[in-house]
Each structure stands twice: as structure tokens, then as C-alpha cells.
């Protein structure tokens, strides 16, 4: 009995194992089909996604290439090769140049109308620096405009080039003086000796502009000690009735500010005599006269009606700062590509080539 049931149980186990194996295989086959179906759907979705990403990537690549191409084109620079000239030592022949500023009662004619004070381009690139950026503080901090010329609106430079011959060429009071460039030799210091009754305010006005002048011109400007005979620039602050003794035959009557400077045959200034009245002008007017006469002695001897706020305005003014265009004219005078005794109109062509072309 026990043997019989033992055999039955063994056969039952085999049948149950076979049955469960068959059921498992059937279930597995059914599941695989579902999985395959699912895989097909996933495959289709992946193909669509891949196609979409491929299209976007291709479009993105094209855009990137275009942007890069524009950047490369816009970043191209023009290289300038300056034509430097050697600086000769000055000879000792005298040719005086006189510049003056009349008192208000004898002001220069005001019938000529002034031109707009701030030169601006009608079509300016907003990324470029405008004229008003070129200030005394900017010059001291960042140096001459030449090294940064591609950062400035070219119209500012064009305006200065047009203004340059009016201020740098010849002399408005002596038509016999040719329209050529005169300037100081940068290898020889300008040594200022003071006479008369200068005050701390008078020195402060010169000290205000000298650092920017030295930065633009490479001149070395210094004061000499009291009693020294080693000087080449006289700075007088004195009553007006002393002017005739100071300037002798070069005196021009009723001028509150006057400067006479001498240059040699090679066109180099080597001596200057400057005086400002301290009994007629007020403090602001004295400040203006000190700046104007000093800078005119450096190679910008003329006045003009062109810019109302320019230091070189022909009418009587008391402006307390140089306009940006005034500073740029001074930079032009001392560019090494120019030579003394060169026609100011030839200077303009050279300056245009090195600043704009």
C-alpha cells in the first residue's frame, strides 16, 4: 500500500512539473511578444526623437558657424606703420611769434557767428567713444588718443583735422609767418622761471594742465628754483602797465594775456615769454589766460571762431577747461610722424592716414 502510493506520488510530481513548465513557457512566450511589441513602439519613438534632435543640431551648427564668421570679420584690424622722423637739435636763430588775448573793452570782433560747440557725427556707432570722452582726466589715465583711435568716433578725429590748420598754422597777427608746424624739441626740457607776483592759484592752474600736456606730447615741463638762470620759459604775473617793459617791441597794447616765443631755422621753439595781468581780469579770467597763453606757446598760436567753448575761441571767453578737440590738436602737434617746418596742410594728410585710413 505504501509502495503503491509512493509510485503514484512520484508520477504526480512529474506531471505537475511538466504542467507548470508548459504553463511557464506559454506565459513567457506571451510576455515576450508583448515586450517585442513594446520595443517596436519604443523604437519608433526613439527614431522620431533622434530625427528631431538631428535636425535641431544641424540648424544649431549652421547658426554657430554664421555667428563665428561675423565675429571673425568684425574683429579684423588695420595695422598702421608710422613713418617716424629723426629730431634734430635746434639752431640759434631768432624768429618771434606773438599770441595775445585782448581785454573785454577791446575784444576781438564778435560779428562772425560761432559754430556748434560739440562736434558730433550724424551717423555714429553707439559702441564708439564720443568726443566728450577725451578729457584731461581720461588723458592722464589712458594716454594719447592715437593708441586708442579705433575706439573713438572717427567724426571726432575728422573735426580735429579740419580745425588743425586754423590753430597750428602761421600767426593771425603776422601774415608773413608761414603756415608751418613749430613745436618744442621733446629732448630738451621746458624750464619755467616765474616773475612778478604769482600766487598759489596761478601755479595751481598750470599744475592742473601740465600732467595731461606731458602725457600727450612727451615734453618734460619743470619749474626752476628762484634765482636760477637756467630757464627757457618766462612766466610773468604782473600789473598790465608792466607789459611794455616785459615785451618791448613785441608788446601789443591793451592785452591782458600775451606770449612771445622764438623758434630756430629748423622750426623748433627754444624760448618763450608769457605774461598775464593780475590787476584787470578776475580769477576765472586769469585761469583761462594762463592756460591759453601757455598752450599757444607749445605750437598752437592762433584763435578761431569755430568752437564757442574752445580754448582758442577768437571772442573773449573765460572757459576753465580745454575742449576735447583742443587736447587732440595738441596731440597732433607732437606726433612723431610729423616734422617741424612741415606745411600744416601736409600735416593733416599724414595725420588722416595714421589716424583714420
* The three cell numbers locating residue 93: 636763430
Return the SS3 of 178.
Answer: coil
Q: Is the pTM of this model over 0.85?
A: no
CA distance 65 to 68: 5
Domain spans of the chain?
A: 1-70, 96-355
Using the predicted structure, report yes or no on whether residue 300 has a pLDDT greater than 50. yes
State the pLDDT at residue 14: 58
CA distance 197 to 106: 25
**Kind of pairing, strands 255-263 and 96-102?**
antiparallel
Using the predicted structure, report yes or no on whether residue 88 has a pLDDT greater than 80. no
CATH number belonging to the domain at 96-355, selected among 3.40.1030.10, 3.40.50.300, 3.20.190.10, 3.40.390.10: 3.40.390.10
DSSP per-residue codes, 230-273: --SEEEEEE-GGGHHHHHGGG--TTEEEEEEEEE-TTSEEEEEE
Alpha carbons within 13 angstroms on the beta-carbon side of residue 267 total 22
pLDDT tens-digit map of 42-76? 455 444 444 444 334 333 333 333 333 323 333 32
Using the predicted structure, report yes or no on whether residue 159 has a pLDDT greater than 60. yes
Amino acid at each position: 500500500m505504501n509502495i503503491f502510493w509512493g509510485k503514484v506520488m512520484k508520477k504526480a510530481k512529474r506531471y505537475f512539473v511538466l504542467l507548470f513548465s508548459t504553463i511557464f513557457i506559454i506565459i513567457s512566450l506571451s510576455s515576450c511578444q508583448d515586450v517585442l511589441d513594446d520595443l517596436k513602439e519604443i523604437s519608433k519613438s526613439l527614431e522620431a526623437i533622434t530625427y528631431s534632435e538631428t535636425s535641431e543640431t544641424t540648424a544649431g551648427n549652421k547658426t554657430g558657424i554664421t555667428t563665428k564668421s561675423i565675429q571673425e570679420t568684425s574683429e579684423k584690424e588695420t595695422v598702421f606703420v608710422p613713418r617716424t622722423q629723426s629730431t634734430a637739435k635746434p639752431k640759434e636763430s631768432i624768429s618771434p611769434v606773438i599770441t595775445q588775448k585782448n581785454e573785454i573793452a577791446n575784444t576781438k570782433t564778435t560779428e562772425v557767428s560761432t559754430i556748434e560747440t560739440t562736434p558730433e557725427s550724424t551717423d555714429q556707432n553707439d559702441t564708439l567713444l564720443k568726443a566728450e570722452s577725451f578729457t584731461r582726466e581720461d588723458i592722464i589715465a589712458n594716454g594719447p588718443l592715437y593708441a586708442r583711435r579705433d575706439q573713438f568716433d572717427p567724426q571726432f578725429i575728422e573735426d580735429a583735422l579740419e580745425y588743425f590748420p586754423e590753430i597750428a598754422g602761421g600767426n593771425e597777427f603776422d601774415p608773413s609767418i608761414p603756415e608751418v608746424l613749430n613745436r618744442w624739441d621733446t629732448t630738451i626740457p621746458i624750464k619755467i622761471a616765474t616773475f612778478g607776483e604769482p600766487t598759489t592759484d596761478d601755479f595751481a592752474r598750470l599744475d592742473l594742465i601740465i600732467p595731461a600736456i606731458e602725457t600727450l606730447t612727451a615734453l618734460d615741463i619743470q619749474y626752476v628754483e628762484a634765482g636760477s638762470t637756467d630757464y627757457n620759459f618766462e612766466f610773468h604775473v604782473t600789473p598790465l602797465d608792466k607789459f611794455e617793459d616785459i615785451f618791448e617791441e613785441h608788446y601789443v597794447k591793451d592785452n591782458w594775456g600775451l606770449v612771445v616765443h622764438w623758434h630756430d631755422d629748423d622750426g623748433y621753439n627754444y624760448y618763450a615769454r608769457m605774461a598775464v595781468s593780475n590787476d584787470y581780469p578776475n580769477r576765472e579770467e586769469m585761469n583761462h589766460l594762463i592756460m591759453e597763453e601757455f598752450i599757444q606757446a607749445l605750437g598752437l598760436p592762433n584763435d578761431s571762431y569755430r568752437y564757442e567753448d574752445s580754448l582758442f575761441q577768437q571772442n573773449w571767453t573765460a572757459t576753465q577747461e580745454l575742449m576735447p578737440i583742443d587736447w587732440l590738436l595738441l596731440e597732433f602737434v607732437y606726433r612723431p610722424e610729423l616734422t617741424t617746418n612741415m606745411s600744416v596742410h601736409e600735416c593733416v594728410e599724414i595725420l588722416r592716414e595714421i589716424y583714420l585710413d
